[in-house]
Amino acid sequence: MLTTITVLPDHIANQIAAGEVIQRPASAVKELLENAVDAEASEIHLILNDAGKALVQVIDNGKGMSAEDARLCFERHATSKIKQIDDLFQIRTMGFRGEALASIAAVAQVELKTRTPDSEVGVQLEVANSRIESEVPVATPLGTSIAMKNLFFNVPARRNFLKSNAAEMRHILEEFTRVALAFPDIRFNLTANHQQLYQLESGSLKQRIVQLLGNPYQSKLVTVQEQTDYLNIRGFVGKPETAKKTRGDQYFFVNNRYIKSGYLHHAVMSAFQELIAGDQFPTYVLFIDLDPAQIDVNVHPTKQEIKFEDEKIVYAFVQAAIRHALAQFSITPTLDFDLDRGIQSLTSIQHPFTEEKKQATASSSLYSGFTQKNQAHFIDRASTGQAKPWAGLPMREVSTNEERQAALLHTITDLEEITFTQLLNTYILYPLKDGYRLIHQQRAHERVRFEQLMQADAQKPIASQRSMFPATIELSPADAALFEELIPELAELGYLIEPFGKHTYVVQGTPADLESGEEQQTIDQVLEQYKHFAQTVQLSKKEALIRVLARQQAVRGGHRLTEREMRELVGDLLRCQKGNVNPDGHPTYLEFRADQLNKLFGFQ
Ligand code: ADP
Ligand code: MG
């Protein structure tokens, strides 16, 4: 009988398996650096030649290996880090599968030198094609040196697949940065083609970030630090002005392991919403620490993905912690009692792990306060509502869009029966079931206008009304140049403007829902504030313009409102996505509850 099945020789099987772990020089850099960290080194040198294609060498002063361990470490599934299955759920070290060295030995020539503290001489091994070629005693410093030479020397197809040195170097620096950020206590040294690129002293995380990401960050980092019984978060976010158009400086670590998480990235982005332009990315280096049992370790470790037992809590927590941090540094002012309540409510959902207890807490007022719309820490499903991979997750605690819509409409119909009172021609006061709400009319209207304008675009511009007597405006040459750029956006926002000679323009139309008049003054103010915004906050052209217009068009404090106008404004505010703050992040209203009032009066 003809056999078609053959068993692959070991070295070929090893090469195939290795492909998963070692794809490029940077994968070896990651594995070797992590092994050095796991060996408790306080100093690690990384030496590269030819972007790691010719040489990746890692020298550490860690605990070293005995001669026997040195031979064993190249075997597949040789690891000193797990002994029994239970250990899998308590992983604290970086590696644990015992695959890295076996993979490297399958696809490169390896030279290992190592010595433990209790032995005078060390051992030197040479390995190629998964086979130990030589073993000799050697005088070597305490610790381990592993040199990986000529990556893919025996797999030409893969060698040809490697990218340019510049590209491979970028991958390496990325891995180096991730490990160096996670361990600021460890000294790191990086030499490439005999040139020293980095010499990182041990120090604080902040110092390490500045060393790696650049001096400008020295005064541009905001501390993030929150602790609960369930998880802790610490680290830094860059101030909004450091946000960049390109992704790059975003780092999440879970139990000190670098991870990629679109879901958590979104949590950070949402905390930065309206502080940076829509097409920018904030810098962050964040560490989340939690019980390893709360993480699914079955996810492949080299994929840098992670699964949390309760992803929603982690999301909410990250978002809240960053908002809190930004608020504390008064980058985004918020209602402080809301923030604290948000954080506290998180603590309160830390302990329970039974389904029953979870449900009880989920329905408690603290938790619902935390998830309610218009709270500083509301988890806004609506604004995350586009088809995101996690959109299908069960969100028991947070009402569905339709439910919330219904609740909102209910409140809005209720508004018909409510009496509104204007105080000081500036505040709108109206009763709630167990208290009352005080709305700042100007800030509320700024928010309403902001969201209305944000929805406008070329397809659906703000309706414009043709002026019967078009106003002519005259600008300085510099302002005219700036203004010229804004004309298309202004058209979407209801202002129809045509050039009329040198530095002169005619306003043919203004937003239909606004009274016209004083166009020159309006445009002057818009330009002035626009310049200010463009300088201080990095926003897109359109968003900066919308912020200015929202402010410009909002009803002022001191302006008398009719009952109908008040009702309409409050209704519009309740329909807003972020009705609790104006576009600058200042509160639009304050709420006074019966229990707070009782306290103020000295009742318990
Ligand atoms: P893992 O890290 O998943 O255990 P590796 O293949 O990376 O698997 O390493 C295998 C074993 O070799 C480790 O468990 C460790 O015992 C030993 N080892 C590797 N690198 C070092 C090092 N730099 N110092 C001391 N021991 C090391
Ligand atoms: Mg390892």
Q: What does the pLDDT look like over 295-321, one tens digit per residue?
A: 876 555 566 777 888 888 899 999 999
* Amino acid, single-letter form, for residue 311: E
**How high is the pLDDT of residue 422?**
95
| pTM flag (> 0.85) | no
**Phi, psi values for residue 282, rounded to 5°:** -75, 150
Per-residue confidence band for 330, with pLDDT thresholds at 50, 70 and 90: low
463 confidence band (pLDDT: 50, 70, 90) = confident
Instruction: Tell how far the Cα of 225 is from the centroid of ligand 2, in angstroms.
Output: 30
Pocket of ligand 1 from Cβ distances under 6 Å: 31, 35-36, 39, 60, 62-65, 73, 78-81, 95-102, 144
For ligand 2, a single-atom ion, the residues with CB < 5 A are 35, 95, 100
pLDDT band with cut points at 50, 70 and 90 for residue 369: very low
Select the more confidently predicted residue: 109 or 333.
109
Query: Which pLDDT score is estimated for 269?
Result: 93
466: confidence class by pLDDT, cuts 50, 70, 90: confident
pLDDT for 438 equals 94
What tokens were used for 497?
């403007």
What does the pLDDT average to over 194-223? 90
Once rounded to an integer, what is the mean pLDDT over residues 200-223? 90
What is the CA 247 to chain-centroid distance, rounded?
11
| Mean confidence (pLDDT) of the chain | 80
Query: Is 50 exceeded by the pLDDT of residue 394?
Result: no
* Mutation pick for ligand 1 pocket among 45, 101, 183 (CB with most ligand atoms within 8 Å): 101
Check pLDDT > 80 for residue 326: yes
pLDDT band at 221 (very low <50, low <70, confident <90, very high): very high
pLDDT > 80? residue 144? yes
451: pLDDT confidence band, cut at 50, 70 and 90? very high
> Which residue has its alpha carbon closest to ligand 1 atom 7?
100
Q: Whose CA is nearest to atom 25 of ligand 1?
A: 64
Instruction: Record the tokens describing residue 350, joined without a space.
Output: 């830390």
Grouping H, G, I as helix, E, B as strand and the rest as coil, residue 168 is helix
Q: How far is CA 277 from CA 81, 280, 470, in A?
A: 45, 5, 34
* Residue 245: band (very low, low, confident or very high) from pLDDT cuts 50, 70, 90: confident
Confidence (pLDDT) at 396: 27
Are β-strands 250-254 and 496-499 bridged in parallel, bridged antiparallel, or unpaired? unpaired
Pocket-testing residue among 79, 83, 87, 116, ligand 1, by greatest number of atoms within 8 A of Cβ: 79
Return the pLDDT at 402.
46
> Residue 310 burial by CB count (10 A; 0-12/13-18/19+): exposed, middle or buried?
middle
Strands across the sheet with 195-200, in order? 131-138, 122-128, 109-115, 143-149, 55-60, 43-49, 187-192, 195-200
Average pLDDT over residues 507-530: 81
Q: Quick one: which of 31, 85, 40 has its CA closest to 58?
A: 31
Residue minimizing CA distance to atom 14 of ligand 1: 79
The minimum-distance atom of ligand 1 relative to the CA of 60 is 23
Which has more pLDDT, 204 or 86?
204
To 5 degrees, how large is the angle CA 531–CA 537–CA 543?
75
How many Cα atoms sit within 13 Å of 129 on the Cβ side? 7
Q: Which H or E run contains 534?
A: helix 519-536
Comparing 370 with 3, the larger pLDDT belongs to 3
Name the most confidently modeled range: 16-20, 307-311, 489-493: 489-493
Q: Give every CB contact of residue 184 below 8 A, 6+ residues apart in sequence.
A: 202, 203, 204, 205, 207, 208
| Interstrand relation of 109-115 and 143-149 (parallel, antiparallel or unpaired) | antiparallel
d(CA 213, CA 211): 6
Greater pLDDT, 379 or 104: 104
pLDDT at 410 over 90: no
Nearest protein Cα to ligand 1, atom 16: 80
| pLDDT the model gives residue 397 | 29
* Rounded Cα–Cα distance for residues 22 and 106 (Å): 10
Q: Is the pLDDT of residue 32 over 80?
A: yes
When mean pLDDT is compared over 121-125, 340-344, 349-353, the highest value belongs to: 121-125
Strand partners, 234: 225, 287
